[in-house]
Structure 1
Amino acid sequence: MKRRDFLKVTAAGAATAAVASPAIAQSSPEIKWRLTSSFPKSLDTIYGGAELMAKQVAEMTDNKFQIQVFAAGEVVPGLQALDATSNGTVEMCHTATYYYVGKDPTFAIYAAVPFGLNARMQNSWWYQGGGDKLANEFFKKHGVIGHPCGNTGTQMGGWFRKEIKSVADLSGLKMRIGGIAGQVLAKLGVVPQQLAGGDIYPSLEKGTIDAAEWIGPYDDEKLGFNKVAPYYYYPGFWEGGLVVHSLTNLEKWNSLPKNYQAILANANANANTLMAARYDLQNPGALKRLVAGGTQLRPYSNEILEAALKATNELWAEISAKNADFKKSIEAMQAYRGDEYLWWQVAEYTFDSFQIRSRTRG
């Protein structure tokens, strides 16, 4: 290469570098956001989903994008997380969207509804089956965009002061139960109470409520419910796989550079997977400890499950008749559930059932 040509190439390279460096810098600005959680710090697994997500966002941006996580009550009460995000008080929240059925029952479908999807089906519907598009089309109306940032798996059916053998035993029972599931149980005679996690124990202890559901053995043990209610029922048919979302103010999301959007979305997806893994690790040991300590483990009777399913289908029809968003979403979810259980019946359920029977035989 001639010296003159070499100098031209070198100069061009330097010019390109001079243009590229500022472009890279501009695409990686320093950003500090706040996130309010609906959960207390003491519940390290569910609260920890937001912390894990924020930590990974910081690591993947060399600490240029920082999200400070606040527990329920530190900025706003846990059940006001959505409002604080949509009105710009904070940029993000970490919450269960079924807390906001008072605004619109459609919120519940993307968290968990009675006889809905299990955790793997939730992920399949969201990431592959179009659930993300349906959800964010709806969330947009409330000024936010959502990403799954955790899943509890199938939950337990709650703690009761007295044994529940039939539908008649539910009549007049004051029960803490979140979201739209309370409307289903109301059809069976339950008087639903919506309380944040930190308020459940004192209410149960004082007898303000007769029963309460939260998540499962690991968290329930931490909250001490076994000390004030002896009967522990399963399954939590209203939460086959609770999706915990991070919701981001839509204007703030749109203002992010595309690489930051990708980083935030991937950090959420990783936290979503790891929360489920942590619950699967922690729940068995906690359940053993609870039973060893005197907890009375009980299954819901088929009578109660069948009555609850009937009440659920009635409620979906009632809401769908007057809410087009709900109708569109619940029908899409139910269609997806039908195909998924076709597969589950062939492979997953058959395999798991055999494994469980083998375990009980020793």
Structure 2
Amino acid sequence: MKRRQFLTAAGAGAASMVAAPAIAQTAPTIKWRLTSSFPKQLDTIYGTALIFSKYVAEATDGKFEIQCFAAGEIVPGLAALDAVSNATVECAQTPTYFYIGKEPTLGYGTGMPFGLNARQQHSWWHFAGGGDLINEALAKFNTIAMPIGNSGCQMGGFFRKEIREVADLNGLKFRVGGYGGRVLAKLGVVPQQVAPGDIYPALERGTLDAAEFVGPYDDEKLGLHKIAKYYYYPGFWEGGAMMHLCINTAKWNELPKHYQAIVRNAAEAANNWMLAKYDAVNAPALKRIVAGGGELKGFPVSVMEAALKATNELNAEIAATNPLFKKTMESHDAYRGDVLQWWQVGELQFDTLMVRTRGRS
């Protein structure tokens, strides 16, 4: 062998001996489990977890595998945060407002009554300190979180009777949970926690007077318009419900930095996928619900004004005893005040114009 060929071959061999271990160290094979708070039937919400997992696998040539499990397959949907906290699983797809019983501040992570819409919530999280505050609240659960989806503004639910005034809410057995349920309880509503599969029979038997779920696409699957024909809007307690990828802090810290970057970017891409999917499927679903007998109704202004007053009272009560809630509330409300000034000039005026002139072109 000539000297030049030998040196070239030797150099290639030495490079391969160095490069292979380096690649192995920087791109390790990792397998995680993700538990979702949602069933597989909710193909948009649960589907977002699958999309996220797919993006991570593609970006790592399959070296980082995140296996998704629906609610109940590992732990119940409302136990997802506990499963992450105690490292039963590495991560979960769940909205933080499911856990306001553990820490009320987590309500702001997903969205509060009379809060922010989907875009505003995302902006507050990334650019106005929202994410830092929610992660501060999650720290005691050994968890960090990042956005992984949003439903957009939700509907107010199906009602067996019309709601004309605040007094009509008194004693109303309403399937509504979380912070919105606490607010409505101040107006006489009797909040009920009922699993999705049990809502239809509960309405049919009269155990429930009304029920809210998500939006037209998911609501249609429950067939509630066949029993409770009045379909109210808007879901003022969920103007833009953010979903979260909650990750065990120790497991997160073990990831190589570029894997962390891949997870962040995959979660952001999945976030966009979910909101875009809902925008695409809710419109035709709403048409089908109305064609099937559902009757659209806007909540009376008097009801929404009373609910706003009750929201402010409840927020003040919690803020008086919870410093982190108070700090988060002040951050959220200050941002809301600023962004709505711009929204009124820009987005709202344009959207109102387009709705008014719909069909002219």
TM-score (norm 2): 0.95
Q: 1:61 is aligned with what amino acid?
A: T
Superposition map of 1:111-150 within 5 A: 111-150=110-149
Aligned to 1:258: 257
Whether contact under 8 Å (2:103, 2:137) holds in the other structure is: no
State the AA in 1 paired with 2:54: K
- How many angstroms apart in 2 are the aligned matches of 1:200 and 1:259? 44
Aligned to 1:338: 337
* Change in CA separation of 1:199 and 1:97 when aligned onto 2, cut-off 3 Å: farther
Partner in structure 1 of residue 196 of structure 2 = 197
In the superposition, relative to structure 1, how do residues 141 and 150 fare at CA in structure 2: closer, same or farther (>3 Å)?
Answer: same
Displacement of 1:191 in angstroms is 0.9
The code of the aligned residue for 2:280 comes to: L
Distance 1:180 1:268, change over 3 A: same
Q: For 1:333, what is the secondary structure of its paired residue?
A: helix
Deviations 1:65-99 (A, max 9, x none): 11111111111111111111111111111112111
Match of 1:262, SS state, is helix
> Aligned partner of 2:196: which letter?
G
Moved more, 129-138 or 146-155: 129-138
Distance 1:138 1:4 in 2: 65
Distance across 1 between alignment mates of 2:129 and 2:16: 41
Name the SS of the counterpart of 1:33 in structure 2.
strand
User: In 2, are the aligned partners of 1:40 and 1:197 still within 8 Å (CA)?
Assistant: no
- Matched with 2:282 is 283
- Counterpart in the other structure of 1:86: 85
Alignment CA distance shift 1:327-1:115 (3 Å)? same
- Flag structure 1 segments of 5+ consecutive residues without an equivalent: none
Partner residue in 2 for 1:316: 315
Spell out the pairing of 1:161-240 with structure 2 (5 A cutoff).
161-240=160-239
1-side partners of 2:53 and 2:319: how far apart? Answer: 37
Distance (whole Å) between structure 2 residues aligned to residue 87 and residue 229 of structure 1: 41
Counterpart check, 1:273 vs 2:272: yes
Establish whether residue 96 from structure 1 lines up as the match of residue 95 from structure 2.
Answer: yes
Partner Cα distance (1:308, 1:15) in 2: 71
Find the counterpart in structure 1 of residue 159 from structure 2: 160
What is the match of residue 295 of structure 2? Answer: 296
Distance, in Å, in 2 between the alignment partners of 1:70 and 1:218 is: 22
Whole-Å Cα distance in 1 between the matches of residues 332 and 197 of structure 2?
31
- In structure 2, the CA distance between the partners of 1:40 and 1:303, relative to structure 1 (3 Å rule), is same
1:243 aligns with 2:236: no
Corresponding residue number in structure 2 for 1:56: 55
Q: For residue 202 of structure 1, report the CA deviation from its aligned partner.
A: 3.2
Q: CA deviation at 1:194?
A: 2.5
How far apart in 1 are the matches of 2:140 and 2:194? 26
| SS of equivalent to 1:145 | strand
Query: In the alignment, which residue of structure 2 is the partner of 1:28?
Result: 27
State the one-letter code of the partner of 2:284.
Answer: G
Contact 2:226/2:293, CA 8 A, preserved across alignment: no
Aligned-residue offset at 1:127 = 2.1
Displacement after TM superposition at 1:205 (Å): 2.9
TM-score between the two structures when normalised by the length of structure 1: 0.94
Q: Distance in 1 between matches of 2:353 and 2:76?
A: 45
The alpha-carbon distance between structure 1 residues 205 and 94, as it changes in their structure 2 partners (threshold 3 A), is: farther
Per-residue CA deviations over 1:292-329 (Å, capped at 9, x if unaligned) read 11101100010001001111111111000001111111
Q: Is the 8 A contact 1:39 1:197 kept in 2?
A: no
CA contact (8 A) 1:174 1:191 kept: yes
User: How much has 1:15 moved relative to structure 2?
Assistant: 4.3
CA distance in 2, matches of 1:239, 1:115: 8
Q: Secondary structure at the match of 2:347?
A: helix
C-alpha separation in 2, matches of 1:303 and 1:332: 28
SS at match of 2:44: helix
Q: State the identity as a percent.
A: 61
Select between 59-68 and 315-324 the one with higher mean Cα deviation. 59-68
Residue by residue over 1:149-194, the C-alpha shift from the partner in whole angstroms, topping out at 9 and shown as x without a partner, is 1100011011111111110000011111121111110111001122
Cα contact 1:98–1:178 (8 A) shared by 2: no
Give the match's secondary structure for 1:44. Answer: coil
> How far off is 1:220 after superposition?
0.2
**Structure 2 residues without counterparts, runs of 5 or longer:** none
Deviates more, 1:20-29 or 1:196-205: 196-205
